[in-house]
Structure 1
């Protein structure tokens, strides 16, 4: 049984997730900011981080990557389409918004180049490519635990924006329809911002998906 902890971080309140097993090992998904706070949480909970997974590399999802990577000596996983984004403030969008954190770090340790099952430490899950919000968006599906971490692809009653570089509305809607709404209706979808939802809820009442 996995325990999931959610931490909204930074001025945009990006959801960072800790996925913890019964032995205290954990995966960290999208540490967007507030690295010191996250390190304190990990120590207090006596967790052992094994990796950082990035659903995509927009600045509000990656701001604390290097702080956690260096403190716990763990690898970072990112889709190969965004291999340059962690180190390029123009690509990750942080150069676009004066007043918000300027993010420029080191490149990922491992690039995700294929869909399918992944195994990191004791964790087994599926990577599904869900481009549209960004060209390298990935959703991480934990089938046995009936949960999915989808970044900014799908939100409760909304969908990801597509007006940033590399965004594509038709591609986003196809990703949602083919890769996320095909999950079992009761799967818990954990988005990059805001509360969780399910495929059943979004198929029934998401206004952006009506008629697709």
Structure 2
């Protein structure tokens, strides 16, 4: 398995391409710059099979429809944010952009934790709310990495002052779901550089004592 980070969109949100040896890939959080993303996928001869969203804030969804329509693939989002894709007051674009960012409804709703299998890809889904009510993290034991969205960053954690954010819930999500992963697990966050579970356990100032 291979991964590539692509900062995209108005605030350079990390989109990830997670691919296998057959050049199939999952597109995780395509936040914007659709033409650039399509061009990269074509240049790399990658074949997207699904779009996975860690959550549905505007900066993670901006290129969803273009990628979905180009490759005719399904979009996955947690059920708690089912309506956020189509509603700019929920996905925060109304407040931050001065205008609406909307995409079509998701094709598949994540209803619970467990194994998500898409073709040859198998990911463990963890519900990690706090930054938003439907935030999820996708863990690949095979690749030794977790896509944490805006729950956990290198040296920081997600903001909780947006709609239905909850600081205590976020800390609990990180403590119960992410910090229990193997310490050498690579953490691929929604913003900024990669880190590891071990590094965040040792040095993250928001997680001291865990």
The TM-score range, normalised by the shorter chain, is over 0.9
Deviations 1:85-136 (A, max 9, x none): 000000000000245x631111100000010001001101100000000000
Corresponding residue number in structure 1 for 2:117: 119
**1:11, distance to aligned residue in structure 2 (A):** 2.6
Work out the CA distance in 2 between the residues paired with 1:37 and 1:102.
21
Instruction: Please report the TM-score for the alignment, with normalisation by the length of structure 1.
Output: 0.97
Instruction: Please report the TM-score for the alignment, with normalisation by the length of structure 2.
Output: 0.98
Corresponding residue number in structure 1 for 2:181: 183
Corresponding residue number in structure 2 for 1:4: 3
Work out the CA distance in 2 between the residues paired with 1:136 and 1:207.
25
Structure 1, unmatched stretches of 5+, are none
Structure 1 runs of 4+ off > 2 angstroms? Answer: none
Instruction: Quote the RMSD (CA, aligned, Å).
Output: 0.9
**1:13, distance to aligned residue in structure 2 (A):** 1.0
Work out the CA distance in 2 between the residues paired with 1:116 and 1:141.
10
- For 2:37, what is the secondary structure of its paired residue? helix
After superposition, residues 1-212 of structure 1 pair within 5 angstroms as 2-99=1-98, 102-212=100-210
Structure 2, unmatched stretches of 5+, are none
- For 2:206, what is the secondary structure of its paired residue? coil
Work out the CA distance in 1 between the residues paired with 2:101 and 2:178.
29
Work out the CA distance in 2 between the residues paired with 1:178 and 1:97.
31
**1:210, distance to aligned residue in structure 2 (A):** 1.2
**Structure 1 stretch displaced more, 189-198 or 4-13:** 4-13
Deviations 1:168-197 (A, max 9, x none): 000000000000000000000000000011
- For 2:104, what is the secondary structure of its paired residue? coil
Equivalent pairs, count: 210
- For 2:40, what is the secondary structure of its paired residue? helix
Work out the CA distance in 1 between the residues paired with 2:178 and 2:2.
22
- For 1:208, what is the secondary structure of its paired residue? helix
**1:58, distance to aligned residue in structure 2 (A):** 0.2
Work out the CA distance in 1 between the residues paired with 2:204 and 2:2.
28
Work out the CA distance in 2 between the residues paired with 1:48 and 1:198.
28
